[in-house]
Structure 1
Amino acid sequence: MTVPNTMALPCVAKQAIVYEDASQLDSLQALFDQCGSLSILGGASNVILPATLDRPVVLMRSRGIEQVGATDAHWLIDVAAGENWHEWVKTSLSKDWPGLENLAMIPGTVGAAPIQNIGAYGVELAHRVQGVQVWDFEGRCRRWLSVEQCQFGYRDSVFKTDAGKHWMVLTVRFALPKIWQPVLDYPDLWELTQRELGTVSAQEVFDRVVAVRQAKLPDPAVKPNVGSFFKNPVISQAQAKALVQRYPTLVSYPQPNASVKLAAGWLIDQCGFKGKRVGPMAVHDRQALVLVNEGGATADDVMQLASEVKAAVMQKFGVALEMEPSLW
């Protein structure tokens, strides 16, 4: 079976199973016991795939959104792993459950969101989750993980570690605020801060985020890509100070732990890569953080361009870039 992916890389899975509901868990467990491992894919929007996948692939297509309770401060909503992330964000606003509007238009599924601890415009998934339900193939059972057990970090979680590699996300339980406050800390959203206090709605933040992302980021259906290809690097204050002395326009964001986050796109742009093409791959001409498949690229082509970008940034700034997507 051909495996669809947003980078449009040719990939064939020798065996693929479409997961729709819990009635399939026993058969998936039997398959895991037979093969020793399974590859789990949501929207395949954050992976670099090889030409062939020998392990069985599980395509997450489960559906379901249900309010399961509330606390004094939050609505609690369970969302199935196979739900489309952006559609879920739209649904949450339509039901008056705000809090996810800054995360609009992030590609992929709900089940993939905690793995990457997706984030944008000052909000991370970790800020809006109460727990994650998984199927533990080694334990042969369901498990609920608390936020603390998920070990969320910057684009990181326990699901990327050896401890979590045999878990399949089934459900994400969201805790969305009953008393909502907009998060408008990023420059692209600052124009909303000019409004009278208390008059900005979650829908307006959503609309602004959608407009900004559409202006800056290519549609994967038109120019295949995996969104932001590199994480924004986090460095020490001392290193940041030294870089600012050499590059006064350096784009940086002080962090609560006394470190400094740099804008990877700015670093790549300063190295002259914006719009540059290497074989069938290119750096997007409007957002240097995005690598696009201009047609016919393979995983090797993607990694060739990525390696050149990383080497150039290291040589010029002494900063190491780390990929966001997983290389399979």
Structure 2
Amino acid sequence: MSILQEHVSVKPITTFGVAASARYYAPFANLDELKALLDHQGDAPLMVLGGGSNVLFTRDFEGLVLHNGITGIETIAEDTEYVYVRAGGGENWHGFVLHCVANGFAGVENLSLIPGSVGASPMQNIGAYGVEIKDVFHELEAFHIRERRLDTFTLEDCRFGYRESVFKNVYKGQYVITSVTYRLRKTPRFHTEYGAIREELARMGVQELSIGAISQAVINIRSSKLPDWREVGNAGSFFKNPQVPMEHYATLKAAHPSIVAFPQDAGMKLAAGWLIEQCGWKGFRRGDAGCYPKQALVLVNYGGATGGEIFALSSEIIASVEEKFGVTLEREVNVV
């Protein structure tokens, strides 16, 4: 049974690596342990961490941090077209992707090397290179913290949007995701049209396309332009790519012909990294807080930056993009 610890540093369990502590902390490995720990919560604020890859602590957390350690991957059903794979919310996401690739389960290969846990994947509908969680999602189980019950959420229930779900708005802070079931294809449908995947596959000399080849191409691309959080603290993409109406995009395109954008619903999704770079932030460093030289979308901690310093830098970036382009960036990272 997991035991509550007091005044625990969150630095080792988060990828930004800033100095902050939790008043109380405990990991849990199953639903019974989670229930028992919640019984000791009292009136203390609660935070549940998975991989710790999408959070920035700007202060100590005067509450209870629970660390999701529910693991396990199993195939629970299949039909002629799909295989249904359930994974514990505390499973490492990239490890889960590699499991699927190794077993020929197609659909998540484009999401290779994204940091974080399985439980976080539907929370913000993670996506990369033309694929989002909603494309492979079947259902999830989540424990309602206040009412102490286990609920099942379908694809429709989650109301997925661009880096959004009900767990980031309507039900924020109300549930702990304990498991996620994915519907994966037995026969792949390859997605190579986004980013530099085709170029990387050619560089790799791939003659016959496979989910393994695509996974490795994505790993190569991400490794080349994104810092390893174990060496340079970061949380991946710090900002969302903003969406604008076609009218606004047309105005921006006329003023900035090289602007990078992609069709999205009835408008256009702008590349936030491009906007930030045009404002001169790429490679910027103040003390140990900076904007990564290879990808402007990533804010980094070079070792001793505080969460407050990184947050302040993000605010300056938001203000400059707003002033230059009339576009308001939103933080993708959760700020505490």
TM class, shorter-chain normalised?
A: over 0.9
- State how far apart, in whole Å, the 2-side matches of 1:25 and 1:40 are: 10
- State how far apart, in whole Å, the 1-side matches of 2:29 and 2:201 are: 42
Give the unaligned 5+ runs of structure 2. Answer: 1-7
The one-letter amino acid paired with 1:65 is I
Q: Does 1:177 align with 2:192?
A: no
- State how far apart, in whole Å, the 2-side matches of 1:187 and 1:279 are: 32
Q: Does structure 1 conserve the Cα–Cα contact (< 8 Å) formed by 2:201 and 2:217?
A: no
3-state secondary structure, aligned to 1:115? coil
Once the two structures are superposed, the pairs formed by residues 1-328 of structure 1 within 5 Å of their partners are 1-3=8-10, 4=12, 5-32=14-41, 34-35=42-43, 37-191=45-199, 199-255=208-264, 257-328=265-336
2:4 aligned residue: none
Cα offset for 1:20? 0.5
Change (3 A) 1:18 1:193: closer
Q: Greater CA deviation, 168-177 or 68-77?
A: 68-77
Cα offset for 1:35? 2.5
Q: Does structure 1 conserve the Cα–Cα contact (< 8 Å) formed by 2:200 and 2:221?
A: no
Cα offset for 1:162? 3.8
3-state secondary structure, aligned to 2:150? strand
Cα offset for 1:192? 7.0
Cα offset for 1:37? 4.4
Q: Does structure 2 conserve the Cα–Cα contact (< 8 Å) formed by 1:252 and 1:261?
A: yes
State the number of aligned residues: 326
Change (3 A) 1:7 1:164: closer
The one-letter amino acid paired with 1:168 is V
* Structure 1 ranges of 4+ moved more than 6 A: 192-195
Change (3 A) 1:179 1:192: farther
> Percent identity at matched positions?
36
Q: Does structure 2 conserve the Cα–Cα contact (< 8 Å) formed by 1:192 and 1:200?
A: no
Report the TM-score when normalising by structure 2.
0.93
Change (3 A) 1:144 1:36: farther
3-state secondary structure, aligned to 2:236? strand
- State how far apart, in whole Å, the 1-side matches of 2:173 and 2:231 are: 32
What are the superposed Cα offsets for residues 39-68 of structure 1, whole Å, 9 maximum, x if unpaired? 100111100113311111101111100111
Cα offset for 1:139? 2.3
- State how far apart, in whole Å, the 1-side matches of 2:49 and 2:256 are: 41
- State how far apart, in whole Å, the 1-side matches of 2:334 and 2:186 are: 35
Cα offset for 1:193? 8.2
- State how far apart, in whole Å, the 1-side matches of 2:82 and 2:173 are: 30
